[in-house]
Amino acid sequence: MTAFAYKNGEMCVENVPLSAIVKDVGSPVYVYSTSEMVSAYRSFSEAFTEHNAKICFAVKSNSNLAVISTFSKLGAGADVVSEGELERALAAGISAKDIVYSGVGKTKEEINAGLKAGIYQFNVESLVELKSLSDIAVSKNINAEVGIRINPDVDAETHQKISTGRKQDKFGINIDQASEAFALASSLPGINPISIAVHIGSQLTDVAPFNDAFTHVANLTKKLRSEGIPISRLDLGGGLGVSYVGEKTPTPVDYASVVNSTLGDLNCELIFEPGRYLTAKAGILLTRIIYIKDNTLKRFVIIDAAMNDLLRPALYNAPHAIQQVIEPEALSELKNYDVVGPVCETGDTFLKDQPFGNLKPHELLAIRDTGAYGAVMSSTYNSRPLVPEVLVNHEDYALIRPRETLEEQLQRDRLAPWQ
């Protein structure tokens, strides 16, 4: 059961009417449900109760401190890909011993920060990074625990911009070079190579690519152990998809079944990095209609949210369901509209030919399933302020990021001395 539902003719999040939030903080605004995040986390974690499993929330999906803290209190660790995400995870209460540091381009400063914090594991993605990590670890008299991310050349069958496990993608070390990489890692001081890492992409709606990738991981684990490399951890990344507009998606139990069948006999600790699965369904972008425009060929609903607030539709052609906050009458006449934002790009379009009943100017709309890769990918394009974020818990709600002001935007700029 979703936390977003109509009650007395109005959409609520948990027990809070959306109109009350808009009255308080304005629109557009991101609204997140605590209960939805808790439910998703428990659904995922309960699928792996029979395993020695560490669940590390992928901070990239939603980096708000209050969101990270919600998962920290449930026992989650964090998967980070930058020093900024590392600092956020620590500030939100996650122990460094529960943090995995991924990413294809870690700088020396970022490696230093991870070593200083004492993180659980670095996932290394190239031989040059491996040597850099060794040099820095030795200079600090630290022995870093390392996973080497392999690229299994598996097509995740997802959007090409979020497919990360094909040979032509920038991520990881080609699986054919894995033995060489682990041999090098074993010879380097300051490095303890105990883990294989893999992540083939995001928003997977079929478990078959997972099965292919994990089969490669299982075979490689056995090969490396035969070569004297004591692999004891497997970081399986994330990627489990969610249904945005009715797609059939696998459950955590379906995913766990693949893990069991491919890796269950290896006696390894398993690390998971779910992000989208934990947060997407927990968020909406609440927006208000500015104008309704009919140019004879098309009807447009122009809203106060834009592509700078939610980039996914413009970047990936990713659809998000959009609903009226005030429940439409059952017999109201349906008309098709394109839902667009005010930014000066034709790509600032959320949905095309969407049927609505009896729309009115200034009416509130809810753009669904925006808890992942929503606010984190927002920008100030067209000098539009970053929108606020609100977290709901039962009857309570709190502003967890205030709306940026134009004054704050201007204060970040500086005129040159000669101006």
% of the chain exceeding 70 in pLDDT: 95
Residue 159 has pLDDT above 50, yes or no: no
| Per-residue pLDDT at 37 | 98
Q: What is the dihedral of CA 246, 162, 344, 352, to 10 degrees?
A: -20
**If you write DSSP's letter for every residue of 90-128 in order, what string do you get?**
HHTT--GGGEEE--S---HHHHHHHHHHT-SEEEE-SHH
Q: Which CATH number fits the domain that encloses residue 370?
A: 2.40.37.10
Which run of H or of E encompasses 407? helix 406-411
Strand order in the sheet with 16-17: 4-7, 10-13, 16-17
Residues 263 and 372 in one domain: no
Q: Are residues 22 and 47 in the same domain?
A: no
Residues in Cβ contact with 252 at an 8 Å cutoff, skipping those fewer than 6 apart: 43, 44, 46, 47, 48, 240, 277
Question: Are 287 and 274 in the same domain?
Answer: no
- The arithmetic mean of pLDDT across residues 382-389, rounded, is 98
Q: Is 133 left (phi over 0), alpha (psi -120 to 50) or beta?
A: alpha
At 68, which CATH number?
Answer: 3.20.20.10
Average pLDDT in the 287-292 region?
98
pLDDT confidence tier of residue 86, bands split at 50, 70 and 90: very high
> Of the listed 12, 56, 268, 344, which one is catalytic?
344
**Mean per-residue pLDDT for 236-243?**
92
Looking at the fold, whether 170 and 295 belong to one and the same domain comes out as no
pLDDT the model gives residue 96: 98
Of 278, 307, 330, the residue that ends a domain is: 278
**Rounded Cα distance, 38 and 79, in Å:** 18
Looking at the structure, do residues 22 and 108 belong to the same domain, yes or no?
Answer: no
Q: How confident is the model at residue 332 (pLDDT cuts 50, 70, 90)?
A: confident
Say if residue 290 is in the same domain as residue 209: no
pLDDT in tens, 207-217: 998 998 999 99
Q: Residue 175: what pLDDT? A: 87
Q: Is residue 170 part of a domain?
A: yes
Which residues, listed in sequence order, are joined to residue 390 by a DSSP beta bridge?
31, 399
Considering its fold, how many domains does the chain have in total? Answer: 2
Distance in angstroms between the alpha carbons of the first and the last residue of the chain: 59
Bigger pLDDT: 172 vs 257: 257
Mutual angle of helices 127-139 and 178-187, in 10-degree steps: 10
Domain boundary among 256, 278, 300: 278
Pairing of the two strands 283-294 and 389-393: unpaired
Same domain, 365 and 295: yes
Catalytic site residue 12?
A: no
Same domain flag for 188 and 323: no
Query: Does residue 417 form part of some domain?
Result: no
Residue 97 inside a domain? The answer is: yes
pLDDT band at 151 (very low <50, low <70, confident <90, very high): confident
Q: What is the pTM of this model?
A: 0.94
Residue 354: inside a domain? yes
In a domain, 301, yes or no: yes
Is there a single domain that holds both residue 89 and residue 233? yes
- Quick one: pLDDT at residue 170? 65
At 351-367, the pLDDT tens digits run: 999 999 889 999 999 99
Q: How many alpha carbons lie under 13 Å from residue 403 in its C-beta half-sphere?
A: 15
Stated as kind and residue range, the H or E segment containing 353 is: strand 349-357
Q: What is the mean pLDDT of the chain?
A: 93
Q: Domain range for residue 262?
A: 34-278
Do 17 and 166 reside in the same domain of the chain?
no
For helices 127-139 and 108-117, what crossing angle results, to 10°?
50
Confidence of residue 408 (pLDDT cuts 50, 70, 90): very high
Question: Do 234 and 88 share a structural domain?
Answer: yes
Asked, for residue 60, whether it belongs to a domain, the answer is: yes
Residues 170, 223, single domain; the answer is yes
pLDDT (tens digit, 9 = 90+) per residue, 31-71?
A: 999 999 999 999 999 999 989 999 999 999 999 999 999 99
Q: What one-character-per-residue DSSP string does 191-237 give?
A: EEEEEEE---BSSB--SHHHHHHHHHHHHHHHHHHHTT----EEE--
Would you say residue 81 lies in a domain?
yes
Averaged pLDDT, 373-398: 98
Q: 377 in a domain, yes or no?
A: yes
Tell me the C-alpha distance between 334 and 50, whole Å.
50
Tally of CB atoms within 10 A around 271: 24
Region of 4 on the Ramachandran plot (φ > 0 left; ψ -120 to 50 alpha; else beta): beta
Cα–Cα distance, 77 to 79 (Å, whole number): 7
How far apart, in Å, are the Cα atoms of 163 and each of 107, 151, 204?
Answer: 23, 11, 9
Last residue in a domain, options 278, 296, 329: 278
